[in-house]
């Protein structure tokens, strides 16, 4: 499978270097790429990635929730009382308007209880200790995630970063295409959400609940979360031409699906604990409204009588679960996920992926210290006007760019053809931190949904 994907990527390279790859033009390379993937797409459709699961999601959400609650509303009696959370002295406090919160529900929750600084400005040592105490995350897994967050979203000298958006919308985990990536378990893609990659999506969690209801034990099991990955991935491939799935962020995105049963379940998953609705919904901040049949995004918190897992969950286990259980439900090509939907593939899509790939490995501090070099790049990017890519950054529309990407990598850039200003949503609240107590995305955003998303109203 890996070899097949690698070979399929060769025509994509020809788009950038046609002469080196033995073709005469980008158009010829694109045609080869489409022909290569058309055959694979036909076979993929025969396998029916979703297996008809989406078509079987029936019944009211409230009824499904009652079914889940009644089936798994208790945990094993053999739980170690030392693992009960929160511990004495750690109390829940909803975040204030200036407290930074973002796309990671586990870290948001730890800040809400004071395991992490409540303002959401955290450092390496604090996160390693808090994730171990709160969820029993292994040192290696916590270290890998923290180091990359510091490098791409934070401040290297202080080894710190913000859980949501940093001051002046610079840095933080809300920054797209670094640690945060598309095909999130319960957030919309950055492009389709028009900058909102950090508020819980009502329609996606509704789908998640229904997949859990199909599980034999009525749980958010690894298989149920694999179905969630398959459905979310299929939706993104179909509707998001700027789908972003570069290696490291994609690993985090996929592993986040197994975090639900492995970290958010009540007790040790697989050893008597359950990934029940009470635990999952509360920890990710999903509050159901019987009247509207929608999920409101509320501050993340532990439910009553909740116990962390009794054994560490490390990087090897996370990768094993992610790539042997979750990912095979829908093995979307990494680096160039657009290969999974060749009918809509364009050279602009490939250029956009290249741009986002550069962003994903660019340390945050470079944008503020290498201004002359960044301005030189901006000047060269403006030459893309002649190639029909005006008003884009290497083929990316404004709503596909990270809120920090263009302004950070290319300071003071405003000329036509160069990096644009922030997407419209960045100025009206979609890039913010405290986005709770609202309903987001009641309908599937098949095109970028920018209007009124900051106020929680889905157009």
Q: What is the CATH number of the domain that holds 231?
A: 1.10.489.10
Same domain, yes or no: 3 and 90: no
Same domain, yes or no: 166 and 307: yes
In this prediction, residues 279-284 reach a mean pLDDT of: 96
Q: What is the largest CA-CA distance in the chain?
A: 69
DSSP-derived secondary structure letter, 27: H
Q: Is the model more confident about 32 or about 185? A: 185
**pLDDT value, residue 227:** 97
Judge whether 422 lies within some domain.
no
Same domain, yes or no: 213 and 325: yes
In this prediction, residues 78-94 reach a mean pLDDT of: 93
In this prediction, residues 98-112 reach a mean pLDDT of: 96
Structure confidence at residue 362 as a pLDDT band (50, 70, 90) = low
pLDDT digits (tens, 9 = 90+) for 118-131: 999 999 999 999 99
Structure confidence at residue 21 as a pLDDT band (50, 70, 90) = very low
**pLDDT value, residue 454:** 40
Q: What is the Cα–Cα distance from 328 to 340, expressed in whole angstroms? A: 14
How many structural domains comprise the chain? 2
Other Cβ atoms closer than 10 A to 189: 26
Q: Going by C-beta distance under 8 Å and a sequence separation of 6 or more, which residues neighbour residue 156?
A: 150, 363, 364, 365
Same domain, yes or no: 33 and 58: no
Same domain, yes or no: 206 and 239: yes
Judge whether 283 lies within some domain.
yes
In this prediction, residues 258-263 reach a mean pLDDT of: 96
Domain that holds residue 24: 1-47
Judge whether 402 lies within some domain.
no
In this prediction, residues 171-186 reach a mean pLDDT of: 89
pLDDT digits (tens, 9 = 90+) for 370-407: 333 344 444 444 444 444 444 555 567 666 666 554 44
Judge whether 406 lies within some domain.
no
Q: Is the model more confident about 457 or about 232? A: 232
Judge whether 373 lies within some domain.
no
Lowest mean pLDDT, pick from 95-104, 245-254, 323-332, 445-454: 445-454
Same domain, yes or no: 269 and 284: yes
DSSP-derived secondary structure letter, 310: S
**pLDDT for 322 beyond 90:** yes
Buried b (16+ CB within 10 A) or exposed e, 360-383: bebebeebeeeeeebeebbeebbe
Lowest mean pLDDT, pick from 95-104, 258-267, 344-353: 344-353
Judge whether 408 lies within some domain.
no
**pLDDT value, residue 228:** 98
Q: Is the model more confident about 62 or about 110? A: 110
Same domain, yes or no: 245 and 164: yes
DSSP-derived secondary structure letter, 118: T
Judge whether 350 lies within some domain.
no
Calculate ∠ Cα 129-133-136, nearest 5°.
105
Same domain, yes or no: 2 and 73: no
**pLDDT for 320 beyond 70:** yes
Other Cβ atoms closer than 10 A to 67: 16
Same domain, yes or no: 163 and 37: no
pTM: 0.79
Judge whether 423 lies within some domain.
no
Alpha-carbon dihedral sign for residues 244, 2, 328, 273:
negative
**pLDDT for 359 beyond 70:** no
Lowest mean pLDDT, pick from 8-17, 70-79, 146-155, 411-420: 411-420
**pLDDT value, residue 35:** 65
Average pLDDT, the chain: 77
Q: What whole-number percentage of the chain has pLDDT above 90? A: 43
Q: What is the Cα–Cα distance from 188 to 448, expressed in whole angstroms? A: 10
| Residues pairing with 356 in the sheet | none
**pLDDT for 420 beyond 60:** no
pLDDT digits (tens, 9 = 90+) for 303-319: 999 999 999 999 999 99
Same domain, yes or no: 134 and 38: no
pLDDT digits (tens, 9 = 90+) for 444-454: 999 888 754 44
CB 307 within 8 A of CB 84: yes
Q: Is the model more confident about 336 or about 344? A: 336
Calculate ∠ Cα 288-292-295, nearest 5°.
30
Structure confidence at residue 45 as a pLDDT band (50, 70, 90) = very low
pLDDT digits (tens, 9 = 90+) for 194-243: 888 899 999 999 999 999 999 998 999 999 999 999 999 999 999 988 88
Same domain, yes or no: 34 and 141: no
**pLDDT for 360 beyond 80:** no
Q: Which tokens is 218 given?
A: 């009525």
**pLDDT value, residue 427:** 34
Same domain, yes or no: 83 and 43: no
**Burial class, 442, CB count within 10 angstroms (exposed 0-12 / middle 13-18 / buried 19+):** middle
């Amino acid at each position: 499978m890996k070899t097949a994907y690698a070979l399929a990527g060769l025509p994509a390279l020809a788009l950038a270097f046609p002469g080196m790859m033995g073709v005469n033009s980008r158009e010829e390379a694109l045609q080869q790429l489409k022909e290569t993937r058309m055959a694979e797409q036909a076979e993929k459709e025969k396998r029916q990635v979703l297996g008809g699961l989406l078509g079987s999601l029936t019944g009211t959400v409230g009824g499904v929730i009652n079914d889940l609650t009644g089936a798994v509303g208790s945990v094993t009696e053999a739980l170690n009382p030392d693992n009960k959370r929160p511990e004495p002295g750690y109390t829940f406090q909803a975040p204030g308007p200036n407290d930074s919160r973002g796309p990671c529900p586990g870290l948001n929750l730890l800040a809400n209880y004071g395991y992490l600084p409540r303002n959401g400005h955290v450092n390496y040592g604090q996160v390693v200790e808090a994730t171990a105490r709160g969820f029993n995350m292994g040192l290696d897994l916590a270290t890998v995630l923290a180091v990359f967050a510091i490098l791409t979203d934070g401040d290297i000298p202080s080894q710190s970063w913000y859980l949501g958006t940093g001051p002046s919308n610079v840095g933080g985990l809300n920054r797209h295409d670094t640690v945060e990536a598309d095909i999130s378990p319960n957030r919309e893609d950055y492009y389709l959400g028009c900058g909102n990659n950090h508020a819980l999506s009502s329609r996606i969690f509704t789908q998640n609940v229904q997949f859990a209801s199909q599980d034999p034990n009525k749980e958010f099991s690894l298989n149920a979360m694999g179905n969630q990955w398959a459905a979310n991935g299929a939706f993104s491939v179909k509707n998001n031409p700027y789908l972003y799935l570069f290696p490291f962020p994609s690993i985090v995105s996929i592993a986040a699906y197994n975090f639900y049963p492995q970290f958010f379940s009540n007790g040790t998953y697989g050893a008597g604990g359950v990934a029940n609705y009470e635990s999952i919904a509360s920890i990710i901040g999903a509050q159901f409204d019987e009247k509207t049949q929608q999920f409101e995004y509320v501050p993340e918190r532990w439910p009553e009588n909740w116990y962390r897992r009794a054994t560490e969950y490390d990087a090897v286990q996370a990768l094993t679960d992610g790539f042997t259980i979750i990912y095979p439900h829908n093995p979307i090509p990494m680096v160039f996920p657009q290969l999974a939907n060749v009918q809509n593939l364009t050279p602009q899509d490939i250029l956009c992926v290249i741009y986002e790939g550069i962003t994903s490995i660019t340390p945050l501090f470079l944008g503020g210290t290498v201004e002359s070099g960044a301005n030189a790049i901006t000047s060269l990017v403006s030459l893309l006007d002649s190639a029909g890519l005006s008003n884009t950054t290497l083929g990316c529309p404004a709503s596909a760019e990270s809120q920090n990407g263009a302004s950070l990598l290319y300071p003071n850039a405003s000329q036509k053809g160069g990096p644009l200003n922030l997407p419209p949503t960045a100025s009206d609240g979609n890039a913010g931190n405290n986005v709770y107590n609202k309903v987001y995305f009641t309908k599937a955003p098949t095109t970028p949904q920018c209007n009124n998303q900051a106020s929680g109203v889905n157009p």
